[in-house]
């Protein structure tokens, strides 16, 4: 019997997971010695020294299993976020948490709403669970959701709504009052998933995150990660916050250890490294401002970002522009409606500025611009 006939329909329908910059890196020009990765929104300023020290210490005892439920880290996160430890679930990166949500709440034929352009993995989860995808595009003017239209798309079959805030790839931020009001107005058969992977980059201290919307009376799940601000993308650790009932069901879907021992203790240490976090915020802000100024210099359309990347329109075909950036050893995203570039170090930003200059004075760019 062919192997395909032995495989469940669940897996047959699952699209392969492709890292955003994977295809671009295959096009590396021969004259480029090393590619600069500006497509995956990693922290270019490294990882917390305190986290490194903690991870190194734990590496020597990796012959022992980690705490299966990450009790110490959950307690720490509960204190930081102002919830109970029972409302926190630690996962092997935010992606695993999102997968758990899909597995627990979606069945074939259910509906799930997304607001494109948004994080592509939501699409993978919906397709893998054989649910129906419902798209409600962001408003053109603000690149934020139109909640009247989102609410109008809700049906008795709607089970999940995925929102990314700040949004990936646009970097735009939903006004907190609008988002909280929407969460309160949703019918109880709908679970609102708010992905706050980039929330740490929001500078407004008065901005009200969605943890405050978590209660026994709302089906809200907040998704967070240590991959971005904390620079721990390679360690794979994230967490979910929701009401106790939802977390208990999500925990039932987690049949193994939540993550590895070094990641658990690295995350604990990273939470205490205020010096590193302050540096990351300051350097991200500086890089973002520099890149935006360079884009404005060339007449690009630039959307205000509240994350560690910028969404911009170079006024020509976005994939062509990404390919041109690759000639300078720079990997950026060209598979969204507009281009997206991650912040870099000051040295990397200088290379980006030079690439912009060279591309924009080229005859081909000018011809495409006129076309």
Asked if the model's pLDDT at residue 26 lies above 70, the reply is no
Q: In degrees rounded to 5, what are phi and psi of residue 313?
A: -115, 110
- According to DSSP, the β-strands at 309-313 and 339-342 are antiparallel
pTM of the model: 0.95
Asked if the model's pLDDT at residue 24 lies above 80, the reply is no
- pLDDT score at 11: 76
Is residue 11 included in any domain, yes or no? no
Asked if the model's pLDDT at residue 10 lies above 90, the reply is no
Q: Is residue 141 domain-shared with residue 39, that is, in the same domain?
A: no
Q: Is residue 248 domain-shared with residue 267, that is, in the same domain?
A: yes
Question: Both ends of the chain: CA-CA distance in Å?
Answer: 55
DSSP characters for 264-311?
A: HHHHHHHHT-HHHHHHHHHHHHHHHHHHHHHHHHTT-EE---SSSEEE
The 8-class DSSP code of residue 65 comes to: P
Number of structural domains the chain divides into: 2
Sheet of strand 309-313, all strands in order from the earlier edge strand to the far edge: 301-302, 309-313, 339-342
Cis upstream peptide for 117 (omega within 30°): yes
Q: Is residue 174 domain-shared with residue 288, that is, in the same domain?
A: no
Q: Compute, in degrees rounded to 10, the torsion defined by CA atoms 118, 122, 126, 128.
A: 130
Token pair 């590619």 is found at 35
- pLDDT score at 159: 98
The last residue of a domain, from among 216, 240, 271: 271
The 8-class DSSP code of residue 87 comes to: G
Domain holding 320: CATH number? 3.90.1150.10
Q: Is residue 209 domain-shared with residue 355, that is, in the same domain?
A: no
Asked if the model's pLDDT at residue 67 lies above 80, the reply is yes
Q: Is residue 309 domain-shared with residue 222, that is, in the same domain?
A: no
pLDDT digits (tens, 9 = 90+) for 231-274: 999 999 999 999 999 999 999 998 788 899 999 999 999 999 99
Q: Is residue 319 domain-shared with residue 256, that is, in the same domain?
A: no
Asked if the model's pLDDT at residue 187 lies above 70, the reply is yes
- pLDDT score at 284: 98
Domain that holds residue 316: 19-46+275-370
Percent of all residues in the chain with a pLDDT value above 70, rounded to a whole number: 96
Q: Is residue 220 domain-shared with residue 304, that is, in the same domain?
A: no
Q: Is residue 125 domain-shared with residue 145, that is, in the same domain?
A: yes
């Amino acid at each position: 019997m062919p192997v395909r006939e032995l495989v469940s329909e669940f897996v047959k329908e699952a699209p392969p997971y492709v890292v955003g910059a994977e295809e671009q890196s295959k096009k590396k020009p021969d004259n480029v010695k090393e590619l600069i990765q500006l497509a995956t929104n990693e922290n270019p300023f490294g990882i917390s020294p305190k986290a490194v020290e903690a991870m190194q210490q734990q590496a020597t005892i990796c012959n022992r299993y980690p705490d299966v439920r990450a009790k110490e880290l959950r307690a720490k996160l509960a204190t930081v976020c102002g919830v109970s430890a029972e409302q926190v679930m630690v996962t092997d990166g935010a992606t695993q948490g999102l997968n758990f949500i899909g597995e627990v709440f979606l069945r074939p034929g259910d509906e799930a709403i997304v607001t494109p352009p948004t994080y592509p993995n939501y699409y993978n989860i919906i397709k893998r669970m054989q649910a129906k995808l419902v798209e409600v595009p962001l408003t053109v003017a603000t690149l934020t959701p139109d909640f009247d239209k989102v609410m109008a798309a809700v049906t008795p079959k709607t089970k999940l709504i995925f929102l990314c805030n700040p949004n990936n790839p646009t970097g735009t931020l939903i006004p907190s009052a609008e988002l909280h009001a929407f969460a309160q107005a949703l019918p109880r058969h709908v679970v609102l998933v708010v992905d706050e992977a980039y929330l740490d980059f929001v500078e407004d201290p008065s901005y009200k995150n969605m943890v405050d919307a978590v209660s026994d009376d709302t089906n809200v799940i907040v998704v967070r990660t240590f991959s971005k601000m904390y620079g721990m993308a390679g360690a794979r650790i994230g967490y979910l916050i929701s009401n106790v009932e939802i977390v208990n069901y999500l925990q039932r879907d987690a049949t193994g250890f939540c993550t590895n021992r070094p990641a658990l203790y690295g995350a604990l240490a990273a939470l205490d490294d205020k010096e590193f976090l302050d540096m990351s915020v300051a350097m991200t802000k500086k890089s973002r401002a520099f890149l935006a100024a360079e884009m404005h210099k060339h007449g690009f359309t630039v959307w205000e970002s509240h994350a560690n990347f910028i969404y911009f329109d170079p006024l020509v075909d976005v994939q062509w522009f990404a390919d041109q950036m690759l000639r300078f050893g720079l990997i950026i995203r060209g598979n969204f409606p507009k281009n997206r570039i991650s912040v870099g170090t000051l040295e990397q930003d200088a290379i980006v500025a030079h690439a912009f200059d060279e591309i924009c004075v080229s005859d081909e760019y000018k011809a495409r611009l006129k076309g």
